Amino acid sequence: MNGGFVMGVTGRTRLLTVVCASLLLPLAGCGLSSGTGHSTNDDVRELAYPERVERVGWEWEVPEGARLVDTVPVPVGIAVLLDDGFVVLAGDTGEELWEYRAGEDARAAYASHLGDYLAVEIEDPEDGSALVELDPSTGEVLQEVAVEEATSSDRGIDEGSFSRNVADGVRVARDPFDDPALRALSLETGEALWVQEEPPECTTVDGPSRDTTAASVLGEVVLEGFFCTGGEDGAGLLGRNLATGEELWRFEEDFGPSEPDLGAPERRYDPLTDRYLAERTLNGPTRVFDVVTGELLGEWEGAVIGVLEDESVVVLYAEEGEYRREDLSGEVLNAMPIPSGASRSEYPAVLEGGVIGHGRDTRDQEVQVWFHAWGNDGEPSAIDVSDAALEDDKAALSTTAVPGAVVLSYSEDGDEGREVLLGLT
């Protein structure tokens, strides 16, 4: 999960009237059922990402009876996805700006990686299923359209019914156990905009057996990872046009003769920004691609965790115990040690001014947060989070940069577990 007020504001539900989108024919009953909440934000302030952080600026706790599913950066701060809908907080203050919570009618949710598309799928006993698209900054209903059948029959939203593989009302789907290899579906109509029946063919090796191994959406580009075997092994990544499925660019590599006992090498694709994508392998280097042009920026032996505005990259070298900022030629511009107790399971958040990491004290397991500025060769600056009472040493922790703050997420296990977001400003 992506990762967040001394203002003392806690989660709450407001029961307000819903206005149907006027550009489409309204559904019977016009909107949400009873027991739901919808409010909007009239004072839009789009925020920049912080360059550095120094303190806990705000604290927000998940409302009683709700569970945190994920968080999404949006232009005004952070969209918090709960199991019944969205609550959007101002990044710099933690103020609740708007909410759309559909109660037990919620079935699925969608959010683009860029944070410019949010939607909730609902199923009302009387009105049927509908997709509700929301303005990420104001919470206004942009459109509400009937859908033939809800994506999920289970009540509530969870990780399985939340998709980030969307943009502009288009969802890209891949079924690893069935044909076709890849397809783009309109969220409004459910119709296929394009279908890729077969995985891509490798052009550098003779490997007739092939498979689409991964698919994701970043901006207007669909990223498709693929693998070929059966004679010679090869793999690649290609970019497709979101609207048409047309191949825009591809990158391929070959591994030589096939090994019968070896499967496809595991690859993971992580968006670093709205333009750059990291390709990670278990024991190999990290590659960074410009998804618009398909250009390979370079390869690094460590884990690339960020790309800055000057196109320098931030690399975590676990064995050396360092964060490094390097240019595209590999020259080290800055290096700083990874603090003792830093999390090894979650990457730190990267800002233009430095790195913010988290972990636990090696003696008493108290949560610790550090900011380490580029060019500072000394100890990182500690950020005191003790007032938030993050006491469960088994709680999940993560950080994510959003407009206005870096958000630390703290989530205790179980239905009664406490879930808190801290905005570091």
pLDDT recorded at residue 61: 97
- Look at strands 162-163 and 106-111 and give their pairing: parallel
The rounded mean pLDDT for the chain is 86
Q: Are 333 and 327 in contact (CB under 8 A)?
A: yes
Backbone angles phi, psi at 23, to 5 degrees: -80, -10
- Read off the pLDDT band of 157 (50, 70, 90): very high
What is the number of residues in the chain? 425
Q: Which two tokens stand for residue 380?
A: 């990182």
Q: Which two tokens stand for residue 288?
A: 């960074």
Query: What is the percent of the chain with per-residue pLDDT over 90, rounded to a whole number?
Result: 62
Q: How far apart are the C-alpha atoms of 66 and 163, rounded to whole Å?
A: 19
Span 247-271, pLDDT tens digits: 999 999 887 776 766 665 678 899 9
pLDDT recorded at residue 419: 95
Looking at the predicted structure, is the pLDDT value of residue 32 above 70? Answer: no
Backbone angles phi, psi at 388, to 5 degrees: -85, -5
Span 4-18, pLDDT tens digits: 222 223 333 222 223
Of 113, 146, 123, the C-alpha closest to 20 is 146
Q: How far apart are the C-alpha atoms of 73 and 407, rounded to whole Å?
A: 10
Q: Provide mean pLDDT across the span 303-331.
A: 94
Q: Provide mean pLDDT across the span 267-280.
A: 93
pLDDT greater at residue 198 or residue 283: 198
Span 158-188, pLDDT tens digits: 999 999 999 999 999 887 666 678 999 998 8
- Read off the pLDDT band of 88 (50, 70, 90): very high
Q: How far apart are the C-alpha atoms of 261 and 24, rounded to whole Å?
A: 55
